[in-house]
Amino acid sequence: MNRNILPEKNGITVIISVICTQHAAKAVIKTPTSVIYLQDIPANLANFAAKPTRKRKDMTLNDFLAYVKTGKPLNTEEIFLFMNEMSNEARKITFKLNTSYYTPDEVREMLAELFGQPVNPTLRVFPPFYTDFGKNIHIGQNVFINACCHFQDHGGVTIGDGCQIGHNVVFATLNHGTAPEDRIYTYPAPITLGKNVWIGSNATILQGVTIGDNAIVAAGAVVTKDVPANVIVGGVPARFIKSI
């Protein structure tokens, strides 16, 4: 028998017992005035209930950042809980940032809080700015990010010095599994921009992509593969247009 005594409530102590047999079990609730037998439950479920609950280990930011570098699926309870907590924290900051006017210095202060690290004083961002994580964004000097950009940065987004990011650009570092049974899980991979990269409006940069120095991504492009330095790419999916 497994017995749990619940804290006293309204002057009544409730005792919950699980009586196990080989094939089934009965859950019993006892109070000072009554005994209630609930319906039979499967023995394996009762045995599971009889086992002590394993204390969950909370994931830290460093744990998560180390894990995403492996590229393994984000598919554990600890990861789900951590991502939900971080998403809530990030949205609190972005909702504030995106619903009022702030000076450039004030914007940088909020971005530093969002990123969890100081930002370069040469960074210029035109809100609204969107992210559901924020703690894996790394930005160099003299970077400009125009309005309505979306950073899904769990896998890591690195933007080199002198980059120019147009309106509505999406950085997506997570991809879902292709098999139906794997579709619920996501797989992280980093996005890296070299120096002096120009990303045109409404472009989408997908997970695992590296864009070389001085490259240009045309407006509306969807970049699925690495882009060499000193070239222009465009289209869906993005293809080589010409060298610079």
Phi, psi of 139 (to 5 degrees): -125, 135
As a whole number of Å, the end-to-end CA separation of the chain is 77
Q: pTM score, two decimals?
A: 0.77
Nearest of 239, 215, 219 to residue 160 by alpha carbon: 215
Instruction: Report pLDDT for 56.
Output: 56
Report strand pairing: 24-31 vs 15-20. antiparallel
All residue ranges of the chain with pLDDT < 50 are 1-53
pLDDT in tens, 33-70: 444 444 444 444 444 344 444 555 789 999 999 999 99
Instruction: Report pLDDT for 55.
Output: 54
Active site residue 138: no
Burial of 125 (0-12, 13-18, 19+ CB in 10 A): buried
Instruction: Report pLDDT for 58.
Output: 86
Determine contact, residues 231/222, Cβ cutoff 8 Å. Answer: no
Question: Amino acid letter at 221?
Answer: A
Catalytic: which of 23, 154, 167, 176?
176
